[in-house]
Amino acid sequence: MTKHEIYDEMVKLMQDFTTAHNSTKKKDAAAARKAAGALKKLVTPYNQASIAEGKSS
C-alpha cells in the first residue's frame, strides 16, 4: 500500500472511531475500541511507506 492509501484508510477508521465514541450504546464502545486498534496497526506501515517515498524522491 502507498502512503496515500494508508492515510485514506486511517481517515475512514478515525471517522468510525469518532462516530462510535460519541454514541451511548455499549456495542458502539466496542466498535470504537476496534477502530482504535485498527488505527494503531496502521501507524507502522504508514511510517514505513512515508520513509520509502521520501527516499525515492
Structural domain spans, the chain: 3-56
Tell me how far CA of residue 51 lies from CA of 2, 6, 16, 19, 48, in angstroms: 11, 13, 27, 31, 5
Output DSSP code: residue 17: H
pTM, two decimal places: 0.87
pLDDT tens digits for range 7-52: 999 999 999 999 999 999 999 999 999 999 999 999 999 999 999 9
